[in-house]
Structure 1
């Protein structure tokens, strides 16, 4: 039974080393033919550098090949593996995947094996030693490939973290209302294509991942969260591109059941206005209907009326003062009638239908209100103040209370 040779003989290794430059050249030439995406990269000074890297890798391989049998065939060879790692990072910086590089490694392994084995056999390498040589070739290529994959992944991770910081910085500038020129510079730095508009969305941290699936890929997330005044936790701030017009209903549907608050669309450099509106709705603790998101565009009257709660309370107390002497029940009925009257612009039958009373009852109650308010009930200013105090949208300028 023959024993496995301990290593490739020194004289064979020397013959192979003498042929390294020509093997490297032929390897590069074959890679250019079989991996066309590298044709430009392998020309000029860059081509010379890559050729040198191939020769370095082959030299590293020969260092393995001349080691004793006890050496691990996958033992890293520092310079060659460092070069492979840097090559992987370079691919990531160039925006390329690992497909082309791994294809180049496969081509390189085949050509190198063909050329170097021919030299080795001519120099007297035995069959057993040739088998050992093949094992070392492919183990070494696996090491180079793994080093490049690691470099590619590390570069993507580093680039991703840096870009994420740039995007967060852009979001912070948008929320604080930075100057348009500063926003444009930040967007360029973050490699972020500005949209027409941005819409602020506030939602709980636990609902963000599910929401992001259906949102525009350019959606920005602020680094700092907003405290929920209800004490439920923190709210994440998202800035969603181009969710205006016909796209807004789709945005609202995608946020159904996610406890979201949605601001109005604003030109992207004015996104602070959308954020301020959404934040104000949160601070006022406006309540959405069912599982639907709170759409601030549908709650403008509430936002206006509750912009200054103490002032609204003072206004309500003043304009409803004529009802103070009434019993609670009578006060409630007349207030209810007055609110409906304002809402329906004095249409008695509509008021009666809403309150489920007879039109004559409406006429009677309005008579009581005229006695309490006198001519003030016909004054536009009083009508406006009553409308605000009772929380209904004012009617058109021509609307007035008719007998």
Structure 2
């Protein structure tokens, strides 16, 4: 059965006390709504529609950065969840299959849960709703059941005392045939305490038409919605705990488990060692047997088997480290390849560059890659030796086996096997330091006398 995702992301999120749309606040380095899309990816959806409202332009821009194909539609007025879903009607006019409604501020729905809902649909349920047993039902909507069959969903505001005593609550997530979903929504009214069009009312409409509704249940933790900064912080803690557990189960060593922070898409191979206080931004892959030393920050990079990073290193987007490469303390790598066995061990910046196999980059080396308008490339060949405090003014090429003298400013290509020396000649002036200090001390004493 073909599947479409409809992710509701139109709310302003006033309780976040932020100018940023709620769904753009980040969890694990990705906007909240991206987690809902990631959960739904297990269903191999043919279409994904994001319903935006407040800050729609920013949400649309963020959606465009994702790997998945996402169509953004706008809910200009917030008239309830059924009205929000209805904004996807035009986008899915030509679609035939099931639609799953997810929420951009509910990031922890597991793929297995959505697959259970798909199984319920395949088993004959016309509408499938996701519910959970709540420790404190509070103001959640209640699921009124008759055995396996879902009779109706009652919003807390409209519930009787008996209905409020029910602990099986509504997550808001549901699935139905797409055409049927929009037919049911068309029959929903706003005659309720809030004057809104509730998506939950489609269950009653479906039953009135002789259709079957069922509920699938999940753990309450999966349904955690984020409405405040405190809830976002709690969600981040929950997310990090999950990622750390996953890393340990996959054979990764975390020397100080609770000090390591992951992004949603971090991939780390078995037998990699992660030392304390390491932060992974989005887009990082670390292969088996690599070591990330303490206080390093990585994003948008690939670290191959046996490479060693840090301590206090920064790998930025486009950094590619081959097997056995070493990047040491206070080194920054950006959009550069560090080839097999090459070393950049101390206090250096390598950007927009290629560093060849077994090259050694001395302390304080900088690739001067930016002229204020354009970025330029530096090529450093295999088995080169770059002396400390070398400035490589790009675009420039250092041939295989070449070297630079300490303190050299390289502005021209260096042939293979050659040595470049580009620094001012040293001149020593006998006795000058002694005379200078005597003069300065006398001047200081005279100033104190006044």
TM-score range normalised by the length of the shorter chain: under 0.3
Higher relative contact order (CA 8 A, sep 6+): 1
Greater Cα radius of gyration, structure 1 or 2: 1
More strand by percentage: 2
Question: Given the two structures, how large is their TM-score scaled by the length of structure 1?
Answer: 0.27
Question: Given the two structures, how large is their TM-score scaled by the length of structure 2?
Answer: 0.25
